[in-house]
Amino acid sequence: MSANRSKILLFTLALTLTLSACGSTENDDTSSRETAAATAQNGSQQSVDGLAQGQQTTKQSESSDTAKDKLDEALGLKEQSPALSEDELKEKLEAEAGAAASRWYYDDYDGDGTKEAFGLIGKDENKIIAVYGVDSEGNVTLMRDSFWGTNYNVAFDSLVEYGGKKYFSVDTNCGGSGAVSSVFSFKDGKPFELALSKSEELFGFYADEDGAFTREEGSWAHDRARVDLEYDEAAQDFTIASKPADSGEWKQAYIDYIDNTIAETYSDSSMFFDCSQFTIIDIDGDEVPEVFYDSGFGAGGSGLLTYADGEVSEIHGGNSSSIYYIEAGGIFKYSSGHMDSFTDDIYTISGGKPKLKLSGKYYLPDGAYTGTGDVQDYYEYYINDAQVPRGVYEKKLAAAFDQSSAKWALDGETYTYYDITSAIQGY
Selection from 42-56, 107-121, 233-247 with the highest mean pLDDT: 107-121
Whether the predicted pLDDT of 47 surpasses 50: no
Q: Summarize the confidence of residues 38-43 as an average pLDDT.
A: 46
Q: What is the pLDDT of residues 309-329, one digit of tens each?
A: 889 999 999 898 999 999 888
Residue 76 has pLDDT above 80, yes or no: no
Angstrom distance (rounded) from CA 250 to CA 290: 10
- pLDDT tens per residue, range 216-275: 887 666 667 788 999 988 888 999 986 555 557 899 999 999 999 999 999 988 899 999
* pLDDT tens digit sequence for 157-212: 689 999 889 999 999 988 777 889 999 999 999 999 999 999 999 999 999 988 99
Helix, strand, or coil (residue 60): helix
Residue 371 pLDDT? 82
Q: Please report, as a single letter, which amino acid is at residue 262.
A: I
Higher pLDDT, 329 or 392: 392
Query: What is the per-residue pLDDT for 338?
Result: 87
Q: What is the pLDDT of residue 38?
A: 45
**pLDDT at 247 (0 to 100):** 56
- Confidence check: pLDDT of 154 > 90: no
Averaged over 53-76, what is the pLDDT?
A: 53
- Look at residues 78, 54, 62, 61 and name the one whose alpha carbon lies nearest to residue 2: 54
Over residues 89-99, the pLDDT tens digits come to 999 999 999 99
Residue-wise DSSP of 104-165: EEEE-SSSSS--EEEEEEEETTTEEEEEEEE-TT--EEEEES--SSSEEE--TT-EEEETTE
Q: What span, in angstroms and rounded, lies between the C-alpha atoms of 151 and 175?
A: 7
Q: What span, in angstroms and rounded, lies between the C-alpha atoms of 129 and 131?
A: 7
Helices 29-74, 3-22: inter-axial angle, 10-degree rounding: 160
Candidates 109, 128, 123; CA nearest to 170 is 128
* Mean pLDDT over each residue of the chain, to the nearest integer: 83
DSSP string, 233-296: TTTTEEEEPP----TTHHHHHHHHHIIIIIHHHTTT-HHHHHH-EEEEE-SS-SSS-EEEEE-S
pLDDT at 19 over 80: no
349, 128, 400, 312: which is closest to 217 by C-alpha?
Answer: 349
Whether the model clears a pTM of 0.85, i.e. scores above it, the answer is no
Tell me what pLDDT residue 74 has: 53
Mean pLDDT, rounded, for 339-367 = 93
Q: How far is residue 6's CA from residue 140's CA, in Å, rounded to a whole number?
A: 59
Q: What pLDDT score does 66 carry? A: 56
